[in-house]
Amino acid sequence: MAKRLCSYGTNNMEQLIQQNQTLILILTLWAIPWKGMALWKASKLDKKPWFIILLILNTFGILEILYLYIFSKMKVKENKTPDQL
């Protein structure tokens, strides 16, 4: 039974990939430049947690675009000491 379920899942995945090759190619070509730009910016800003998150997660460019245009521009609030005022 387990063998049959595994085989069934594999065939479905193969069918899904074969039927959507163009869509997969378009999504890949869309995501790679965004991922590259976001990783580059996270590296330049020395944001290691963001770099790791962007490297591991595949969100087809959504998280990468948000990082580039929103999160990378956010400033971390610093507590000023009395002599800095």
What does the pLDDT profile of the chain (85 residues) look like in tens digits?
455 555 556 688 889 889 999 999 999 999 999 999 999 999 999 999 999 999 999 888 999 999 999 999 887 665 555 555 5
- pLDDT value, residue 17: 87
Per the listing, tokens 């000023």 go with 80
- pLDDT value, residue 50: 93
Q: How far is CA 12 from CA 1, 4, 26, 28, in A?
A: 17, 12, 21, 21
* C-alpha to C-alpha distance for 30 and 75, rounded to whole angstroms: 28
Residue 4 belongs to a domain? no
Our CA dihedral for 42, 45, 49, 55, rounded to 10 degrees, sits at 20
Domain that holds residue 70: 22-74
Domain count, the chain: 1
- pLDDT value, residue 4: 53
